[in-house]
């Protein structure tokens, strides 16, 4: 109902704002992010912000409905297709939920290999984002392609790092995208000792490149807008390590809780001025992702990662969302060093060949929580006694960040009223990009686009019990 009202308002406001000296910035389908998102900013002649919105017109894909009735043997492969970039994370989170529901325990070797897989994905996704998607803004170009002329050496270093991350993922999981070796209970195939040694060498050889990349970013760090807004940071926490694969759900404003309480942390509310549903816990919105993890867990970063954080001037607590890009680079260093440690442990204990584990399905409910590149990801399933899904819920990081992006807009845009439209467009686009949103994953994060493509407010609707 109120969506209609809001549409009518927007339609009236648009022609009014244009004739006087107001400013209007409209980015339809923001580039260098995964999926489709729009930015709308309207500033009137008196420099008053009339509107600033973050919208998403992505086609809904209905994964939670599609997996109903499907067998536990297939689920992790289906949900992997939610996202091409974090397909490993979706698989691992799905497998965790299935194992939780069916009471399946896995070996130490499996846990180490899964952590390696997660590091591989973190590296490929972060490097793709900082190098190919975010860096062009800092270099004043529209894509990474012109850098092949102006900064060939640096670009080749970054490409080399990204290729290393892809090869590392392939060696661990069998493929870089939608991997095949990960299954509930373990792996269908494990790397050989020789392959592990090759991976270790590849990781060690990448360290100078990472140092060079952080030097490059340190030299342009002042191009990141100096904007801060305190918010609640949510992510996995563990007393044992920089939590990625498992832990409790921690917050900078709240006590840590087991993942089974995920709904109490990602709980949703309605905003009076719109029909959109938002997520929040203790603060007015919450942020997940590399910066959230850095703020929560920085003490457990590897030495190399701590050094790179110092070089980049990233200190916890950091409330500048643009610095998420820096936190991603810091996490790359951590992933490299922690992977080397995990490989050493496996080489010391000896790698055992695994065959596909035998599982007797049973009825039950389970929750998986994994840190994927863009933040904490939850999958929750209920299985029947044949191992077929009765209920499914997936809460994806970009959804959790949505309210935070909007709140950042509301704080940022009033500081930009004196800037020209191009600068407003760049700074708001950079803000969205800093979150590295993965909109094609956001099965519940779509606007109410009608068949006639009228502009509507963003909807955030999720399955409720």
- Interface residues with another protein (CB under 8 A) are 3, 29, 31-35, 59-62, 64-66, 68, 70-71, 74, 77-78, 81-85, 87, 128, 132-133, 136, 142-145, 148, 156, 159, 162-163, 166, 174-181, 183, 187-189, 356, 440-441, 443-444, 446, 448-451, 453, 459, 461, 463-464
Query: Is the CB of residue 269 less than 8 Å from the CB of residue 263?
Result: no
> What's the min distance (Å) between Cβ of 18 and another protein?
23
CA distance linking residue 206 with residue 433, whole number of Å? 26
Cβ proximity to another protein, 22 vs 146, nearer residue? 146
Closest CB 385 distance from another protein, rounded Å: 15
Instruction: Measure the CA angle with vertex 79, ends 89 and 133; round to 5°.
Output: 50
Burial class (CB in 10 A: 0-12, 13-18, 19+), 248: middle
**Alpha helices (H) along 61-107:** 63-66, 72-80, 87-102
**Residue 156 CB contacts under 8 Å (≥ 6 apart), including other chains:** none
In the bound complex, what is the minimum distance in angstroms from residue 301's beta carbon to another protein? Answer: 27
Backbone angles phi, psi at 188, to 5 degrees: -85, -20
Residue 170, sorted as left (phi over 0), alpha (psi -120 to 50) or beta, turns out to be alpha
Question: Which residue number, 50 or 70, has a Cβ lying nearer to another protein?
Answer: 70
In angstroms, give the least distance from the CB of 203 to another protein. Answer: 18
Sign of CA dihedral 53, 56, 62, 63: negative
Q: Which is nearer to another protein, 31 or 349 (CB)?
A: 31
Q: Which is nearer to another protein, 22 or 174 (CB)?
A: 174
444 marked ligand binding residue: yes
Q: Answer yes or no: is 52 a known binding residue.
A: no
Rounded to a whole number of angstroms, the minimum distance from the CB of residue 282 to another protein is 26
Which residue number, 119 or 444, has a Cβ lying nearer to another protein?
444
Residue 19's contacts (CB-CB under 8 Å, 6 or more residues apart) are none
- Please give the annotated binding residues, written as ranges: 64, 83, 86, 438, 441, 444
Binding site membership for Ni(2+): which residues? 83, 86, 438
Residue set of the binding site for Fe cation: 86, 441
């Amino acid at each position: 109902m109120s969506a209609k009202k809001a549409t009518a308002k927007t339609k009236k406001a648009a022609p009014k704002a244009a004739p006087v000296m107001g400013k209007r910035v409209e980015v339809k389908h923001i580039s260098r992010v995964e999926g489709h998102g729009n930015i709308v900013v309207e500033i009137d002649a008196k420099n008053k912000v009339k509107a600033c919105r973050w919208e998403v017109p992505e086609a809904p894909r209905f994964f939670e409905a599609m997996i109903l009735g499907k067998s536990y043997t297939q689920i992790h492969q289906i949900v992997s297709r939610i996202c091409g970039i974090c397909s490993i994370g979706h698989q691992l989170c799905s497998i965790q939920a299935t194992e939780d529901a069916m009471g399946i325990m896995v070996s130490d070797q499996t846990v180490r290999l899964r952590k390696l897989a997660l590091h591989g994905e973190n590296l490929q996704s972060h490097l793709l984002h900082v190098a190919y998607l975010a860096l062009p803004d800092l270099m004043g170009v529209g894509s990474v392609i012109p850098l092949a002329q102006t900064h060939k050496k640096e670009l080749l270093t970054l490409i080399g790092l990204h290729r290393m991350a892809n090869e590392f993922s392939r060696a661990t999981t069998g493929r870089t995208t939608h991997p095949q070796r990960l299954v509930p209970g373990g792996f269908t195939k494990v790397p050989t000792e020789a392959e592990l040694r090759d991976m270790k060498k590849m990781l060690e050889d990448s360290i100078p490149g990472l140092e060079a990349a952080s030097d490059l970013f340190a030299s342009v760090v002042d191009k990141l807008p100096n904007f801060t807004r305190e918010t609640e940071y949510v992510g996995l926490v563990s007393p044992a390590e920089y939590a990625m694969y498992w832990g409790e759900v921690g917050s900078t404003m709240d006590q840590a809780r087991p993942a089974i309480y995920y709904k109490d942390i990602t709980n949703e509310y309605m905003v009076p001025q719109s029909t959109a549903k938002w997520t929040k816990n203790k603060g007015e919105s919450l942020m997940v992702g590399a910066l959230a993890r850095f703020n929560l867990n920085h003490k457990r970063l590897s030495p190399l990662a701590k050094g790179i954080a110092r070089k980049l001037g990233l200190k916890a607590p950091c409330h500048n969302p643009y610095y998420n890009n820096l936190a991603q680079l810091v996490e790359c260093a951590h992933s490299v060093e922690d992977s080397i440690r995990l490989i050493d442990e496996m080489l010391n204990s000896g790698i055992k060949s695994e065959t596909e584990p035998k599982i007797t399905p049973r009825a039950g409910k389970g929750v998986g929580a994994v840190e994927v590149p863009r933040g904490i990801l939850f999958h929750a399933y209920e299985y029947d006694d044949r191992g077929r899904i009765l209920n499914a819920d997936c809460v994806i990081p970009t959804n959790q960040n949505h309210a935070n992006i909007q709140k950042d807009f509301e704080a940022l845009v009033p500081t930009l009223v004196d800037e020209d439209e191009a600068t407003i467009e760049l700074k708001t686009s950079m803000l969205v990009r800093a979150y590295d949103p993965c909109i094609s994953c956001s099965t519940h994060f779509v606007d109410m686009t009608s068949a006639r493509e009228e502009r509507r407010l963003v909807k955030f609707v999720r399955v409720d019990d």
